[in-house]
Amino acid sequence: MPKNAQTDEFQNQTKVFINNCEQIPCFVEALKRENCRITEVSFDEHCLDDVGICSVAEALVQNTVLKTLELSENSISESGVCALVKLFALNTSLKTLFLFRNKINNTGVQAMAEALKKNTSLKKLYLYNNSISEDGICALAGLLEQNTSLETLELCQNEINDVGGCALASVLKQNTSLRSLSLSHTHITDVAVSAMASALKQNTSLKTLVLSENPMKETGMCALAEALKQNTSLEILDLYRCEINEAGAKAMAAALTQNTSLKKLRLSDNQEMGKVAIQILAEALKQNSSLEIFEFSRACLCDEQASALAEALKQNTSLKRLYLSSNRISLEGVSAIAAALSHNESLEILHLSENFIGDKETEAMAVALTTNTTLKSLCLSYNKKISDAGAQALAAALEKNIALKILDLRLNKIGDVGAEALAAALKQNTSLADLDLGCNEIGDAGAQAMAEMLKTNTSLKRLILSSNKISNVGARAIAAALKQNMSVTELGLDGKEAISYKVWQEIKSYLDRNKEVPFQVFSNLENLLKKKNSKKLGNEVIQELEKLLDHQNFLPKNYPGLRELNEKANAIISRLFAWATDSFSASSSVHAIDGLPLKLLSMYASIPPEEVGFSAAQFELANFYRSELVPTQAALTDTSVITSGESEEYLRALMGCLLHAENYNKTIAPEDKINVDAEYDTLLKILLTGDIRQKLHVVKTAESTLSAFEADMKDQLIKYMQGCGQRPVDCDLLKEINEFLFSGPQATSSSASSLLSSSPSMRL
C-alpha cells in the first residue's frame, strides 16, 4: 500500500494496531495531522525499539486526541523512557499507558515518577514485569504523594519486597486519587501486608487491591481482615495463592460479617485453610449483604464444605458469581448446590469445572435449571465424566429454562446421543446464546443434528464443536445450515478427520456475513427514524434495537469493527429516546406510539454494566428522571419542601436521577460527568425537613428498587451531610439519617426495570 494511502487509513481509524516496524513512519505522520481520529494504538510485541518510541513520543507531544497507548513487550529501555518523560511534560490527552514486560528499571521509573508529578492527565499506568525493585517503587510512592490524577497503578511481577510495599502503604494513608493498586507476585510478606492493612483503615478512595501470589500467611491476613471491618471503600480484594491458613481464613470470615463495601473476593488456590475455617466462611456469607463475586477455586473443597456454601446460598441475596472450579465436589455437594438454586434468586454465574461431576451430578443440576430463573451461565467443563445421560438431562431442562445464556460442557464424554438431545432442546429454547461442546466424543450424527437445529434457532451466537469426531460430512451439513442461519458469529469446528478447506471457507464466509448483521440492523434503525410515526413503527424500533444489542454483545472481542459498532449503538440509544419522546409530544394522535418511551427506558434499565450501550442508557435514564423533577423543583425553597402527597413520587425520581447519573459518571472522563450537586443538595434538604421517617422510608424503598445499579451515591450523600456544619441543622437529626440509611442489613437486589413499571413518576 502506498505510504500516503497507509497514512490516510491510519488517520481515519479510532483504534490502530501496528504489527510491523515498517508501518511506524505512516502512523507517526497520521498522528501529526490536525484531523487525526486515532484514540487508541497498540504495538505488537518486538516491533518497536527506542528509536521508534522516540518518534512516536515526539508526534504525541502535539497530539490532543490519543487516549490509550499500548507499548508492552517492546524492549523499551533508558532512551525510550526519556522520550516518554518529555511526553508526560507536554501531552495533555493521554489517559492510559501500558508498558508490560519492557526493560524499564529503577532509573527509568524514577525519571517517569518525577515527570508525572506535574502531569494531570494520565489516569492508568501499567508497569507489569519491568525489573523494578525497592528504589523504583519508593520513587513511585513519592509520585503518589503529589500526583492527584493517577487512578490505576499496576506493578505485578516486580521485586517490590517489604520496603517498597511499606512505602506504598505509607502514601496510601493520605492519597485520595488512587482507585486500583495491583501488587501480585511482588515478594511482599506479612510485614508489608500489615502496613497495607493499616493504611486501609484511613484510606477512603482505593476500590481495588490485588495482593495475589504473595506469602502473607497468618499475621498479614489477620491484619487485613481487621482493616476490612473499618474500611468502607474497598470493593475488590484479590488474595489468590497467598498461603492463607486456618487462622487467616477465620479472620476473613469475621470481617465479612461486618464489612459492607466489598463486592469481589478472590480466595482461590489457598489450600491450607482447613475444613472448619471454610465452613465458617460459608456461615459468614449468610450474613454478608455486599459480596457479589466469590472465587473459591482450587481450595480443596469437598462435599461437606460445598454443602455449607449451598446453605449460605439459600439465605444470601447479593452473590451473583460463584467460582468453585478445580475442587473435589461430587454428588452430595452438587445436589446441595442444586437444591439451593431453587431458593436463590441472585446467582447469575456458577463455575463447577474440574470437579468430580458425572451424569448423576449433572442430573441434579438439571432439575434445578427447570425452576431457577436467574442463573445465566453454568460451567461444567473439564469434569471428564459427563456422558450422553447427563447431556440428555440438561437438554430436558433447557426445554423449560428461559434464563440460561451460557452452557460450557467442554472436555467431557458426550457423544452423538447427547448432542442430538441438546440440538432438539435448542429448537425450542430461545435464551441460550453460547454452547461449548469442544473436546467431547461427538461424530457426524451429532453434527448433523446441530445443523438441523441451526436452521431454525435464532438465539445461539457461539457454538464450539472443536476436537470431536466430526468429519467433512458433518461439516458440510453445518455449512448448509449456516447458509440460512443469521445469528451464529463464532463456530469452533475441527477434529481427527480432516475437514476440507473448501467447506471451512464456506463456513467462514457465513460467519463473516453474520458479524455484519449489526451494521444492517443499524441501517434499519436509521431508515425507521425517517418514517412517519405509527404504533407498528414503535414496535419495529424496539425489535430492531433488541436485535442490535443482542448481536453486538456476542461479537468476538477482537472483531475489527466492534469499536465503531459501540459508538453507533450509543448514538442510536440517545437518538431513539429523543425521537420517541418528541414524536409522542408532537403527534396529532396521542395513542400513535403510546408507551414507546417507557418501553425504551425499560430496555435501557435492563442493560448490565458489562454490555455495550450501558453508558448511553444510564445517561438517558438520569436525564429522564431529572426531567420528572422539573415541575416540582420550583416549589423548593430554603424553608419549605414539597407536600407529603408529592414526596414519594418526587423522591423516587430524585433517587433515580442520582443513581443513574452516578452509574454514567463512572464510565466517562471527569470533564464529561453529569453534575448532580444540586440534586444531592435537594435530597439532603428534603431529608432534613418535614416528615422525616416517612421520607426516609421512601428513600430506602427507592434504594432497594435500584440497588442492582447502586454505585457511590451513599458516599456522596455522606459527604454532603458532613458538609452541613455551616448550615442551621439538627446534628441529632443528621445522625439519625446516617444510621437509617447506611447501617443495618443492605436491601436486596432487584432490577431497576421494576421501578420503571411501578413508579407513578414514570407515567408519560
- pLDDT at residue number 400: 95
How many Å apart are CA 102 and CA 93, to the nearest integer?
Answer: 23
Residue that finishes a domain, picked among 480, 515, 550 = 515
DSSP 337-375: HHHHHTT-SS--EEE--SSS--HHHHHHHHHHHTT-SS-
How many Å apart are CA 197 and CA 179, to the nearest integer?
Answer: 16
Q: Domain check: are 585 and 652 in the same one? A: no
| Residue 321 vs residues 33, 293, 349: alpha-carbon distances, Å | 46, 5, 5
Percent of the chain with pLDDT over 70: 73
- pLDDT at residue number 622: 83
Q: Domain check: are 740 and 699 in the same one? A: yes
Q: Considering its fold, how many domains does the chain have in total?
A: 4
Q: Domain check: are 511 and 523 in the same one? A: no
Query: Does some domain include residue 547?
Result: yes
Mean pLDDT over 561-590 rounds to 56
Query: What residue type is assigned to position 288 of the chain?
Result: N
Query: Does some domain include residue 264?
Result: no
- pLDDT at residue number 21: 84
Which of the two residues, 757 and 115, has the higher pLDDT score? 115
Q: Domain check: are 638 and 764 in the same one? A: yes
Residue that finishes a domain, picked among 558, 575, 594 = 594
How many Å apart are CA 390 and CA 385, to the nearest integer?
Answer: 9
646: left (phi over 0), alpha (psi -120 to 50) or beta: alpha
Which of the two residues, 355 and 626, has the higher pLDDT score? 355
Mean pLDDT over 610-629 rounds to 77
Query: What residue type is assigned to position 15 of the chain?
Result: K
The contacts of residue 759 (CB under 8 Å, 6+ apart) are 649, 652, 653, 656
pLDDT digits (tens, 9 = 90+) for 181-234: 999 999 999 999 999 999 999 999 999 999 999 998 789 999 999 999 999 999
Query: Does some domain include residue 630?
Result: yes
Question: Is 706's pLDDT higher than 50?
Answer: no
- pLDDT at residue number 505: 93
Phi and psi, residue 17, nearest 5°: -120, 120
pLDDT digits (tens, 9 = 90+) for 234-292: 999 999 999 999 999 999 999 999 999 999 999 999 999 989 999 999 999 999 999 99
Query: What residue type is assigned to position 703 of the chain?
Result: E
- pLDDT at residue number 4: 76
pLDDT digits (tens, 9 = 90+) for 452-465: 999 999 889 999 99
Q: How far is CA 729 from the centre of its chain?
A: 40
> Cell 441434579 belongs to which residue?
364
The length of the chain in residues reads 764
pLDDT digits (tens, 9 = 90+) for 59-103: 888 888 899 999 988 888 877 888 888 888 888 889 999 999 988
DSSP state of 44: P
Q: Domain check: are 511 and 522 in the same one? A: no
How many Å apart are CA 206 and CA 747, to the nearest integer?
Answer: 24
Query: Does some domain include residue 451?
Result: yes
Which of the two residues, 691 and 146, has the higher pLDDT score? 146
What does the block give as the cell for 486? 443469521
Phi and psi, residue 288, nearest 5°: -70, 140
How many Å apart are CA 706 and CA 109, to the nearest integer?
Answer: 44
Query: Does some domain include residue 486?
Result: yes
Percent of the chain with pLDDT over 90: 51
Average pLDDT of the chain, as a whole number: 81
- pLDDT band, residue 525 (cuts 50/70/90): low
94 closest CA partner among 102, 82, 85 = 85
Structure pTM? 0.75
Question: Is 671's pLDDT higher than 80?
Answer: no
Sign of CA dihedral 380, 382, 388, 390: negative
Mean pLDDT over 308-326 rounds to 96
DSSP 737-753: HHHHHHSSSPPPP--TH
Half-sphere exposure (CA, 13 Å, Cβ side) for 630? 7
- pLDDT at residue number 78: 76
- pLDDT at residue number 672: 79
Question: Is 423's pLDDT higher than 60?
Answer: yes
- pLDDT band, residue 543 (cuts 50/70/90): low
- pLDDT at residue number 753: 30
Question: Is 360's pLDDT higher than 50?
Answer: yes
Query: Does some domain include residue 480?
Result: yes
Q: Domain check: are 656 and 706 in the same one? A: yes
Q: Domain check: are 662 and 740 in the same one? A: yes
Question: Is 608's pLDDT higher than 50?
Answer: yes
HEC string of 379-421 equals ECCCCCCCCHHHHHHHHHHHCCCCCCCEEECCCCCCCHHHHHH
Which of the two residues, 675 and 708, has the higher pLDDT score? 675
Question: Is 160's pLDDT higher than 90?
Answer: yes
- pLDDT at residue number 555: 60
Q: Domain check: are 764 and 675 in the same one? A: yes
How many Å apart are CA 580 and CA 590, to the nearest integer?
Answer: 12
- pLDDT at residue number 516: 77
CATH number where 459 lies: 3.80.10.10
How many Å apart are CA 210 and CA 191, to the nearest integer?
Answer: 16
Q: Domain check: are 549 and 660 in the same one? A: no
Question: Is 617's pLDDT higher than 60?
Answer: yes
Query: Does some domain include residue 404?
Result: no
Question: Is 385's pLDDT higher than 70?
Answer: yes
pLDDT digits (tens, 9 = 90+) for 644-670: 445 556 666 777 787 788 888 888 877
Q: Domain check: are 635 and 744 in the same one? A: yes
Question: Is 374's pLDDT higher than 60?
Answer: yes
Query: What residue type is assigned to position 469 of the chain?
Result: K
pLDDT digits (tens, 9 = 90+) for 559-569: 556 666 666 66
Residue that finishes a domain, picked among 103, 120, 146 = 103
Q: Which domain holds residue 533?
A: 518-594
Mean pLDDT over 133-141 rounds to 95
pLDDT digits (tens, 9 = 90+) for 6-45: 888 888 888 888 888 888 899 989 998 888 888 889 887 7
Q: Domain check: are 654 and 574 in the same one? A: no
Query: Does some domain include residue 261?
Result: no
Q: Domain check: are 637 and 577 in the same one? A: no
| Residue 39 vs residues 17, 64, 149: alpha-carbon distances, Å | 12, 9, 20
718 closest CA partner among 735, 701, 697, 699 = 735
- pLDDT band, residue 114 (cuts 50/70/90): very high
What does the block give as the cell for 531? 418514517
Question: Is 362's pLDDT higher than 80?
Answer: yes
> Cell 449468610 belongs to which residue?
286
